[in-house]
């Protein structure tokens, strides 16, 4: 299995190389040269299996000979052992034909644990074999960073630096990043937006001296191994509702396009997915682009679903690559235009995207109203991101096809928004009830590449 860059000018890599590298050297993202198919019978055979076994069968073909089957099974077992639910990704029903896939039972209460816990174990297995040491740098709008710090803390072959936008993450998110005491994890609070954090991480990867000097590795949602881990729960949930004998649809609260891209991969592998619905908050660049073809960032407006407050949606490049017939030059040109203000998707590529995705948006008021209404009609308390999904899903229900909306975080991660909508302040699960009593450790940084690189070099030298 080979991995190729979406910009067509970086070397092909193996799974292990692509995982350790993150961003390609030409600025592109790695994708598998071919997506392996699962037959109708392969998918039918997943019914009733534990999450870990489905994970093994779905992901195994992507790894080539990186690990033996036994090694990979052990990695998966360790990754999901810390989850607070035996099903890992359980489902509840919201209405006739509408289901909620709860992806928030991991150690930091958001779906990002599914990928990050796995990637932590994959890195550890790979680096302990080679004896190498790497520096992981990531940008976060809140949930990626806490998931990464939780997954990598204490691993001896890795230093982790997470950039988050100062004052723009929830207190639970911040504390999950700043309270782990392990010396190899560092939370950096940057003056700016998430897009600034993400841009500085990209800059570090494009600074090849720095990149090679500190052995930079990335675990943001651009890392292929993360997308891959997220493909699994599309299979477990669809099969639970009758796939492959029946089609299902998914609605995905979307920011960086990683989670929904995993659904796109599941469909390419053969899972019978009818609609894939992209749900955005008021930062609706993806909805606008899928509607009109214009991808023109116009500034982030902070919302009550901050993990989706994104204007430059990294993984969208992966689907553009397919929409442009895997023409790396064309993608490269679009990304140059984006730096200069924005781009317009060609008519043919837009048609392709509209055949693949439906989209919708939820305003702040609609999000709050949905949290309130769902509490009243089902007793379920949604986090604001999941509520964006549920609102957009409700507009796309079809009596003939069950809809699965992804619940991307636990409501206790965003207690203010939930309390404002319902009057109820959701509590943290008992295993993290002391979060507000733990000491915090954080470094303030300006939105300045040289300053950040200097800090990282200094910290890893000690």
Q: How far is CA 187 from the centre of its chain?
A: 19
* 357 lies in the binding site for ligand PLP (CB under 6 A): no
Among 27, 107, 218, 253, binds ligand PLP (CB under 6 A): 253
* 307 lies in the binding site for ligand PLP (CB under 6 A): yes
| Smallest separation, CB 133 to ligand PLP (Å) | 28
Whichever of 24 and 308 has its CB closer to ligand PLP, that residue is: 308
Interface with ligand PLP by CB under 6 A: which range of 257-265, 362-370, 372-380, 416-424?
Answer: 257-265
- Annotated catalytic residue, options 2, 78, 112, 372: 112
Among 7, 112, 168, 267, binds ligand PLP (CB under 6 A): 112
* 308 lies in the binding site for ligand PLP (CB under 6 A): yes
| Smallest separation, CB 137 to ligand PLP (Å) | 17
Q: Build a one-symbol-per-residue string for 140-159: x at contacts with ligand PLP by CB under 6 A, - elsewhere.
A: ---x----------------
Whichever of 110 and 232 has its CB closer to ligand PLP, that residue is: 110
| Segment 64 to 103, residues that bind ligand PLP, using CB under 6 A | none
| Smallest separation, CB 45 to ligand PLP (Å) | 28
Which of 221, 172, 217, 176 is CA-nearest to residue 194?
221
Among 27, 28, 258, 270, binds ligand PLP (CB under 6 A): 258
| Smallest separation, CB 142 to ligand PLP (Å) | 7
| Residue 372 designated active-site | no
Whichever of 142 and 270 has its CB closer to ligand PLP, that residue is: 142
Whichever of 143 and 274 has its CB closer to ligand PLP, that residue is: 143
Total binding residues toward ligand PLP, as defined by CB under 6 A: 16
* 370 lies in the binding site for ligand PLP (CB under 6 A): no
Interface with ligand PLP by CB under 6 A: which range of 24-32, 87-95, 255-263, 396-404?
Answer: 255-263
Interface with ligand PLP by CB under 6 A: which range of 33-41, 247-255, 337-345, 423-431?
Answer: 247-255
Which residues are known catalytic residues?
A: 112
List contacts with ligand PLP (CB under 6 A).
110, 112, 143, 221, 253-259, 307-308, 385, 408-409
């Amino acid at each position: 299995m080979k991995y190729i860059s979406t910009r067509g000018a970086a070397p092909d890599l193996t799974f292990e190389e692509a995982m350790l590298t993150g961003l390609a050297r030409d600025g592109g993202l790695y994708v598998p040269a071919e997506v392996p198919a699962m037959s109708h019978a392969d998918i039918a055979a997943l019914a009733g299996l534990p999450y870990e076994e489905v994970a093994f069968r779905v992901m195994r073909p992507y790894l080539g000979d990186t690990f033996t089957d036994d090694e990979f099974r052990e990695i998966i077992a360790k990754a999901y052992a810390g989850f607070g639910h035996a099903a890992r990704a359980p489902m509840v029903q919201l209405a006739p034909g509408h289901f909620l896939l709860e992806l928030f039972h991991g150690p930091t209460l958001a779906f990002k644990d599914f990928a990050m816990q796995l990637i932590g174990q994959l890195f550890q297995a790979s680096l302990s074999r080679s004896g190498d040491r790497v520096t992981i740098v990531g940008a976060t709008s809140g949930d990626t960073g806490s998931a990464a710090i939780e997954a990598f803390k204490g691993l001896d072959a890795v230093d982790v630096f997470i950039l988050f936008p100062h004052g723009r993450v929830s207190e639970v998110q911040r504390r999950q990043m700043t309270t782990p005491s392990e010396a190899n994890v560092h939370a950096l609070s940057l003056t700016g937006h998430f897009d600034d954090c993400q841009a500085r991480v990209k800059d570090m990867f494009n600074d090849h001296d720095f990149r090679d000097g500190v052995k930079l590795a990335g675990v943001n949602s651009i890392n292929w191994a993360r997308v891959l881990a997220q493909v699994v729960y599309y299979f477990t949930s669809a099969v639970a509702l009758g796939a492959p004998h029946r089609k299902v649809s998914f609605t995905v609260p979307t920011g960086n396009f990683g989670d929904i891209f995993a659904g796109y991969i599941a469909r390419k592998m053969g899972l019978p997915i009818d609609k894939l619905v992209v749900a955005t908050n008021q930062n609706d660049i993806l909805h606008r682009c899928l509607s009109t073809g214009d991808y023109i960032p116009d500034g982030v407006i902070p919302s009550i679903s901050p993990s989706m407050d994104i204007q430059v949606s990294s993984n969208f490049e992966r689907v553009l690559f397919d929409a442009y017939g895997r023409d790396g030059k064309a993608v490269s040109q679009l990304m140059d235009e984006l730096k200069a203000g924005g781009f317009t998707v060609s008519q043919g590529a837009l048609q392709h995207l509209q055949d693949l995705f439906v989209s919708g948006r939820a305003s702040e008021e609609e999000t709050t109203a949905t949290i309130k209404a769902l509490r009243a009609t089902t007793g379920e308390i949604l986090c604001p991101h999941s509520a964006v999904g549920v609102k957009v899903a409700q507009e796309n229900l079809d009596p003939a096809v069950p809809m699965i909306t992804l619940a991307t975080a636990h409501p206790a991660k965003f207690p203010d928004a939930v309390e404002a909508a319902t009057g109820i302040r959701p509590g943290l699960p008992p295993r993290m009830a002391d979060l507000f009593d733990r000491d915090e450790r954080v470094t303030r940084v300006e939105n300045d590449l040289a300053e950040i690189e200097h800090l990282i070099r200094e910290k890893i030298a000690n």
